[in-house]
Chain A
Amino acid sequence: MHSEYQQAIEQYRHKVVTLARYSLRSPVDADDVAQEVFLKLWRHWPNVDQEKRLAWLMRVTHNAVIDFVRRRKSLRDALDDAVDVESLSVDGSQEEGDREALNAELVAAIRELDDPFRSILVMRDIQGLSYADIAHCVEMNLSQVKVYLHRARRKLRENSRLRMRFEELAGS
């Protein structure tokens, strides 16, 4: 197998899986999407610009998630049919448990965002991609990406369940 391909997989595997898992609640579905993306990378390997490999992977992952949700008819179906045990695991101290619960609520709120708000928020605030890479992924200009990012954050702030959880944590 192409060693350069393996290096690219090793380099970007977590970013692809992160975007997929923050987009889909079921880790199994997210892994299926990630696998599909990696295989697409293999099939399109000669045509993928080495300099834009990460942006290409993010765009393909973003599109694969959208396709997956469409196949499931609605995002709600995808959200309801499984539980992300990885991010919801609560153990250890009370403080850690509260933090884990908050993170779980936060992840759920992010997953409830529509595209492209969700993908842009994940790529920028969780994965730390540049605006230029994100613009390439979602096929927008930089200004549009920033507008969508700010709207995504505002939508999160408007999530009443999340706000309540934060206030509980601040009060305790």
Chain B
Amino acid sequence: MSHQSEQSRCYTVQLQIDTFLDGELGTAEQAFLAHVGGCADCARELRYAKSLYESVLDLPAMDCTDELVDSVYAKVAQTQQEVAAVNQPAEALREASWWQRNWFAWRPTTAVGFAAVCCLALTVSLVLVLRAPETVPTVAQQSPSLPVVPAANSAQIDAEDVRAALDELNTAIDYLNRVGRKTEEMIGGRFVVLPLQRNVDASLRRASFSTDRIEAQGPI
């Protein structure tokens, strides 16, 4: 065998040393051992590799001290306490009664609902107030008892009182006319104002008669 091929063979064998030490060389083990048996360099290298390998295997495992483990447990316990402190409100809520839990849960909804009802009530009130027609007197109210002075009492009425009553009556008729125009769509002028006007005119005529008579008779 040439020197070069011998060197190449030694190189290959020395690469196989670790596989051999692992017992995994398989069918190449025979050739490996045969070469090592006849090659001093490779045999020396194998001896060194084996002793080194065994020395590594004999290296002790390092002890983990109890102090280290205690410090780990202390930190874990501290972390647990911190987490518990953070989660305490949630746990308290879980332990609360059904009503308390749901009150907490519903509180925003309840507040919003209450506000909505208040707003609705306010709006309805405003609409009712703003849309409320100026107090429309009923027919009875619109035609208050006219100061139809009974003839029997007319002699007892002062002429000034009659004139004042007539002024008030005209004022009332003007008012009713205005009301009648404003509420035309609701009650219709012809249903309220015109009949009322007629009644008033008739009353005025009677009152005028009475006044004339009073004036003719003079103060009582």
Contacts and interface: CB of A to CB of B under 8 A. Distances in A.
Nearest to B24: A146
A103 B55 contact: yes
A9 B69 contact: yes
A122 B199 CA distance: 124
A138 interface: no
B47 to A, nearest CB: 9
B77 to A, nearest CB: 6
Interface stretch (A47-55, A73-81, A149-157): A149-157
Given A18-B62, A127-B61, A150-B18, A166 B51 contact: yes
Contacts of A156: 52, 56
| Size bin of chain A's contact surface | 35 or more
A1 B80 contact: yes
Interface string B5-38: 0000000000000110110000000000000000
Contact of A16 (B59, B64, B73, B80): B64
* Dominant SS among interface residues on chain B: helix
A126 B72 contact: no
Contact of A163 (B18, B48, B68): B48
Interface residues of B, number: 30
Contacts of B63: 14, 17
Contacts of B76: 1, 5, 39, 42
A157 B56 CA distance: 11
B49 interface: yes
Contacts of B49: 153, 157
Interface in A133-172: 146, 149-150, 153-154, 156-157, 162-163, 166, 170
Interface of A: 1, 5-6, 9-10, 13-18, 20-22, 27, 30-31, 34-35, 38-39, 42, 86-87, 102-103, 106-107, 110, 121, 125-127, 146, 149-150, 153-154, 156-157, 162-163, 166, 170
Q: Which 6 residue pairs of A and B lie closest in terms of their CB atoms, listed nearest first?
A: A13-B64, A17-B64, A150-B18, A21-B62, A18-B62, A38-B72
19 contacts: A1-B76, A10-B69, A13-B68, A18-B61, A18-B62, A20-B62, A30-B62, A34-B68, A35-B72, A38-B72, A39-B75, A42-B79, A86-B62, A103-B55, A106-B55, A125-B53, A125-B56, A146-B22, A154-B18
